[in-house]
Amino acid sequence: MKNYESMTDEMLALQYVGGDNRAFDELLTRNQKKLYDYIMFVVRDPELANDVFQETFVKVITRLQEGKYTDSGKFSFWLIRIAHNVIMDTFRLQKSVHIIEPTAGNDLSKLKSDSLMDLNRENEYVNAQVLRDVRHIMNSLPAPQREVVYMRYYQELSFKEIAEATGVSINTSLGRMRYALINMRRMAKQHEIQLNLEL
């Protein structure tokens, strides 16, 4: 009898491709909460989150069965990227989201992601206190900005990983973070909330 719990997600995915349905059950069990939390945070609607979650796993099953997954050691990023694409397709269909992107004249390539978000212990402590208020303010951000903030602060992904998961350039990810922080500071000022993120 196979010990599925000791297998990595990548091993389970390849076992499922080879016809082992129990391997997929273990993959689903491991990833469903993290994936659902991510989807729910972005769409903010339980009914829509359930639809997106189910559609995501339909696409995962289809792509696995079509042999479109190779063991790259990044199954969770592959899963998040599929969910991201389903969310964006859903928003496009609803035509309810206006995405603000950096302008051509706003060259964000000069920003260094490592120095921008390199936090030391003191900054981590300050940010932990601030994040409680930040989460409330984040709900008012456009979905692409809310998503990048969630991935950076709650999933602790690098901007390179965020760009890879969402299918955009690192500059776009940085731009979305920049606009998110500007918008959050504006909202915090309006509501007299002290936000002192140490960047």
Q: What is the pLDDT of residues 47-81, one digit of tens each?
A: 999 999 989 988 898 888 888 887 777 898 899 99
Q: What pLDDT does residue 156 have?
A: 84
- Of 192 and 159, the structure prediction assigns the larger pLDDT to 159
The residue ranges of DSSP E strands in 31-160, in sequence order, are none
Answer whether residue 174 shows pLDDT above 90: no
Answer whether residue 185 shows pLDDT above 90: no
How large is the average pLDDT for residues 31-39? 93
Highest mean pLDDT: which of 27-36, 67-76, 109-118? 27-36
Q: What pLDDT does residue 93 have?
A: 80
Counting runs of H as helices and runs of E as strands, what totals does the chain give? 9, 0
% of the chain surpassing 70 pLDDT: 76
Nearest-angstrom CA–CA distance, 180 and 144: 9
Q: What pLDDT does residue 116 have?
A: 44
Q: Which two tokens stand for residue 151?
A: 């991935």
Model pTM above 0.85 = no
Answer whether residue 38 shows pLDDT above 70: yes
Cβ contacts of 61-66, under 8 Å, gap ≥ 24: 61/24, 64/13, 64/16, 64/17, 64/24, 65/17
